Chains A and B, each alone.
Chain A
Amino acid sequence: MEIVVASGKGGTGKTFLASNLAILINERLDGAVAADADVEAPDLVLAMGGERRLLRNREIWESMKASIDHKLCNRCLKCIDVCMFDAITLVDGRPKIIQEFCEGCGACGHVCPVNAIRFRRTRTGRIYSVETAAGVKAAAGDLEIGGRNTGELVYLVREEAKELARGDHVKNIVIDSAPGIGCPVISSLSGADLLIIVVEPTPQSLKGAKRLLRVAESFKMKATYVVNKFDLNERFLKTIGSELGLECAGRIPYDPEVPSSYSMMRPIAIHGMDTRAGRALEEVFENLGSWIT
């Protein structure tokens, strides 16, 4: 089963919950593999105590980019009109493709009457898998800086995680999603089994959670939520409950042991189950028991 930890808003504690949940499921249920689907800011391995051993690493060159051969270009400018992504601009009377905005869709190539547009593959990023210091295997991706195609890379991270899981006869995959509701998040949710929304007791975080839930509903997936740092604003818990309309899987208090566990690379699920955050994690894990088959 694929469990996605996501949030809508950034910095609510997705990586904290995903990393520790993967460790707990791995130790106490039939094993788990972790997948870092935040390819723009891949931190999951770090949160699991770092890398013990690199298992696999491969470069992904799937991003197509257009360029114009100016010896052939007759400056009809049809390509500018047809590009839906504003990736072609006029510079000194000539069309110029801004590489960072180009989606590589090929539309310009189809309308060019003189065949002046060429396409080449560029680096999308890399996909790798490691054995973490916490003992859990993890798949992760790292997007080329300034890159697009985040959805493609997330898809490949999930495939890599499935392969790890198959190899070790493990049933559960915990996916740490990117913040937001865009391409990488949709790619994380598509076809997954359970969504855990991490929400902080702030209006800004609730707004993100609600937007995320609208996306999840389009996939008709099961969803629950966990409130992180709930004691910062306890009055807000009721509002969260009524506005999300989901069953709550637990509440985690603010605990300085959490940043400290990152700094020392000692995950709470291994070294800190007796802390406030650890005890709350224990509860979340128990509550999720009925969801995780």
Chain B
Amino acid sequence: MTEIISVAGGKGGTGKTLVAVNLAYMLNRDRRTLLIDVDVDNPCTRSFFKARELWEKKILEFRPKIDPDLCKLCGTCVRNCPEHALVMIPGKKVMLVRELCAGCGVCKLVCPFNAVGESWIEGGVIRGYETEDGLDLVVGELQPTCRRSPVIILKTLKAVKDLIERYQYVVMDAPPGADAGIYSIMDYSETILAVTEPTPLGLMDLKKIYRLYRKFFHGRKRFMVIVNKYGLPGGSDQELRRFLDENGIAWTTIPYDDLVVKSYIAGELIVKTHPSSEAANSLRGIVKLLEEKI
């Protein structure tokens, strides 16, 4: 049975990647683990490992290709395009605004003259790696100038579907936010770790991701909060604690620690390079919590 853990959190820069890479590395020492980077806008897990690329899969997106010889300028595609990405230049042609196109294919379906053909662009790419520590890593990446992050997330999750039963643990590094992409990541996992920081902004965004959890997954999945940078000078530990306790949310902390920042900048795993640091201790504690629940 595979245990799938997602690391989310609402706000950016709270330490999701820090938690995901260190947890995956530690879990993999005893049990086979797969780390999936679904922060497709800016995937960063790769920078923490020496890794060899094993495979690559391109994610293609549809774009219409209008044949000027067949097009009668009837405007059916323009009227039906949900993104308003097709513009009629009267008497001349139908023009595609590339930045707006979502690749849904409706234009091709509705054209009465078969004038809309297919072309496919690379909307994203999924790559599989093996790290020197023997940890397997899959990275989903959105192609810059393409916009459909939730679609790339979903396609990445589908691409690894047949792989995951080989592993005892799967750890997913999620993007910031609380949209449909985060929904699909949470939906895919059994345990949701929400990483936050003790600032009013961290608290506000945590509340939103907690609402997402309550609305769709309450009672079906585990939810635990990790307060990173706990004890941050000038931070608001108390307000955060009050919210967590009032809502009966399980939580744990990673103390504010300069070594965390230093190892992050160097692209090192803190549990490997500073195993006796307070932060590494906390991370080991989280691994224990995860293992006990199995």
Contacts and interface: CB of A to CB of B under 8 A. Distances in A.
B212 A46 contact: no
Interface string B119-151: 000000000000000000000001011111111
B82 A64 contact: yes
Contacts of B44: 9, 204, 207-208
Contacts of A258: 234
Contacts of B114: none
Interface in A120-157: 143, 145-148, 150-151
B106 interface: yes
Contacts of A96: none
Contacts of A103: 82, 102, 104
A241 interface: no
B144 A214 contact: yes
Most chain B beta-carbon contacts within 10 A, residue among A11, A150, A203:
A11
A148 B180 contact: yes
A204 B17 contact: yes
A147 B176 contact: no
Interface of A: 7-12, 15, 40-43, 46-47, 64, 82, 84-86, 100-101, 103-107, 110-111, 143, 145-148, 150-151, 178-183, 185-186, 190, 201-204, 207-208, 211-212, 214-215, 218, 232-233, 236, 256-263, 265
30 contacts: A9-B13, A10-B175, A11-B12, A43-B11, A84-B62, A84-B105, A85-B104, A101-B184, A103-B104, A106-B80, A111-B109, A143-B179, A146-B215, A147-B179, A148-B180, A181-B41, A182-B41, A186-B145, A204-B44, A207-B44, A208-B42, A214-B145, A218-B99, A259-B198, A259-B232, A259-B235, A260-B233, A260-B235, A261-B234, A262-B234
Given A43-B205, A263-B199, 12 more contacts: A40-B178, A41-B204, A43-B201, A100-B187, A101-B154, A180-B41, A180-B176, A180-B177, A183-B148, A201-B265, A204-B264, A263-B234
